[in-house]
Amino acid sequence: MLDKIKQLIAEVTSFDTDSAEIAEAFRVRLFGKKGEITSLFEQFKEVLPQDKKAFGQELNVLKTLTINKLKELQEKHKKTFKVDPALDLTLPGDPAPLGSRHPVSLVRNEIVDIFNRLGFTISTGPEIEDDWHVFSALNFPPEHPARDMQDTFFIQSNPDILLRTHTSSVQVRVMEKQKPPIRTISPGRVFRNEAISARSHCIFHQVEGLYIDKNVSFADLKQTLLFFSKEMFGKDTQIRLRPSFFPFTEPSAEMDVSCTLCGGKGCNMCKYTGWLEILGCGMVDPNVLDNVGINSQDYTGFAFGMGIERIALLKFGIKDIRLLFENDVRFLRQFTNAF
């Protein structure tokens, strides 16, 4: 055994190679599971006690020598590292799966982009609001049904603190802080105490628009909305405005776009009317301007509000609003290249 150790010490001392593979084979030959040094250590257990010292010393010399030699070789091969010829670098890599934006985010970003191009800034406000910003400042009479418990989520039965039912509250906050001219849009989440169905949800998203300046007219409103509709739904899109009522605008209107599916001929989606309702709008009621300290003699303005989910449903032909809240990736993945 001592001879074997001596022979290996000599071999290791003089060993050298330029090949990382040969070095590795050498390591396995000595230190592998059945390697020569490994088995010498096995045999060492059987050595007589009086011989242990002499054998042990030699064996340790061999072990340290080999470890140092292998380290030395490793360093050397690191410096002259060559690509393993067995590796095919032309093979395609493992694909990293790409995520996609949620359709509601896609549509919101698109709306924001379109109005940015017209010089509208973005503003936001709190989801937990007070009665003033959601209703009172917006000219809702005290007994207006929209304030009703059935529509509004109140916080801890305090009738003054509630979850905003529309993003119109943000126009009040902006007008309280900023002097005209004001041109802003406010995307955000809103809450209504409504039963969940294929067409409505108790949490959804809106974008509010507001433009206040001297001499803003209904014609400005109409052209802005026409521009938006063509950008959003295609250049052949037409709009129509129907008289309506909102406490905070006078006059008020609802806007329809020509059906995105049949182009106005009549189909299942537009219930054979050729039109789809998209948003509410109007000229800001002078009472609202006065409520926030803007002189309604000097300034006029328009406002509009639309539901993001509704536009997403129409744009992508989705039949059930609940799909937008379930976050099933098989559904969400279909929007990777939506815009």
Q: Which residues bind ligand DAH (CB under 6 A)?
A: 166, 168, 208, 246, 249, 280-282, 303-305
Min dist. Cβ of residue 212 to ligand DAH (A) = 12
Query: 184 or 249: whose CB is closer to ligand DAH?
Result: 249
Spatial contact of 126 and 170, defined as CB atoms under 8 Å apart? no
Closest residue to ligand DAH, based on beta-carbon distance: 305
Min dist. Cβ of residue 257 to ligand DAH (A) = 16
Alpha helices in 80-201 (DSSP H): 103-117, 131-134, 168-177
291-297 long-range contacts, CB within 8 A, separation 24+: 291/136, 291/137, 291/139, 291/172, 292/137, 292/172, 292/175, 292/176, 293/175, 293/176, 294/175, 294/179, 294/180, 294/212
Instruction: For 5-58, give the DSSP string.
Output: HHHHHHHHHH---S-HHHHHHHHHHHHSTT-HHHHHHHHHTTS-HHHHHHHHHH
Min dist. Cβ of residue 133 to ligand DAH (A) = 12
Query: 166 or 201: whose CB is closer to ligand DAH?
Result: 166
Query: 103 or 282: whose CB is closer to ligand DAH?
Result: 282
The whole-angstrom separation of Cα 260 and Cα 148 is 35
Min dist. Cβ of residue 337 to ligand DAH (A) = 31
Place of tokens 């979850």: 163
Query: 58 or 131: whose CB is closer to ligand DAH?
Result: 131
Min dist. Cβ of residue 177 to ligand DAH (A) = 18
Query: 69 or 183: whose CB is closer to ligand DAH?
Result: 183
